[in-house]
């Protein structure tokens, strides 16, 4: 059964998320990705054959949209590459997204190493 995977990355981590998706493209193809606007655009440009739906940019409400999807049971996995060294003006939204992922027990990966492990364990090749 296809899963819905949320993909979010801060500006300095977008390329790392794209590279992760490229490495795991075969595992991702059968599934649906939901991504914030710029991240989703980068994924579509790099891997046009992936099923990627975009929501708004994170600072414009995209983190909250994905959080709402988590609360509604529509997200199966969260791959979120935050930039821990850059202050975010929408930090409150990011914290709300993380809180919802924890409350609803959604498997989460916050770096490439963990995302690779999650993909290998959950997404068949």
φ, ψ of residue 83 in degrees (nearest 5) = -100, 105
pLDDT band per the 50, 70, 90 thresholds, residue 91: confident
pLDDT score of 88: 74
Note the pLDDT tens digit of each residue in 49-69: 999 999 999 889 999 999 999
Q: pTM value?
A: 0.94
- For the chain, the first-to-last Cα distance in angstroms comes to 14
> How many domains is the chain built from?
1
Among 11, 49, 51, 63, the active-site one is: 63
Across the strands, what pairs with 6? 34, 78
Could you tell me the sign of the dihedral formed by the alpha carbons of 84, 89, 95, 100, in that order?
Answer: negative
Residue 108 has pLDDT above 90, yes or no: yes
Indicate if 63 belongs to the active site: yes
pLDDT band per the 50, 70, 90 thresholds, residue 41: very high
Mean pLDDT of 15-22: 98
Q: What is the CATH number of the domain that holds 113?
A: 3.40.50.1380
Q: Where in the sequence is the domain holding 53, given as residue range(s)?
A: 4-122
């Amino acid at each position: 059964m296809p899963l819905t995977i949320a993909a979010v990355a801060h500006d300095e981590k977008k390329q790392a998320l794209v590279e992760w998706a490229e490495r795991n493209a075969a595992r991702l193809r059968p599934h649906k990705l939901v991504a914030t606007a710029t991240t989703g655009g980068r994924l579509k440009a790099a891997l046009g054959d992936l099923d990627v739906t975009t929501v708004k940019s994170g600072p414009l409400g995209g983190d909250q949209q994905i959080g709402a999807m988590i609360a509604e049971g529509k997200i199966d996995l969260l791959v979120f590459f935050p930039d821990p060294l850059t202050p975010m003006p929408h930090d409150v939204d990011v914290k709300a997204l993380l809180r919802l992922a924890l409350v609803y027990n959604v498997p989460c990966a916050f770096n490439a190493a963990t995302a690779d492990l999650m993909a290998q364990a959950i997404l068949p090749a």
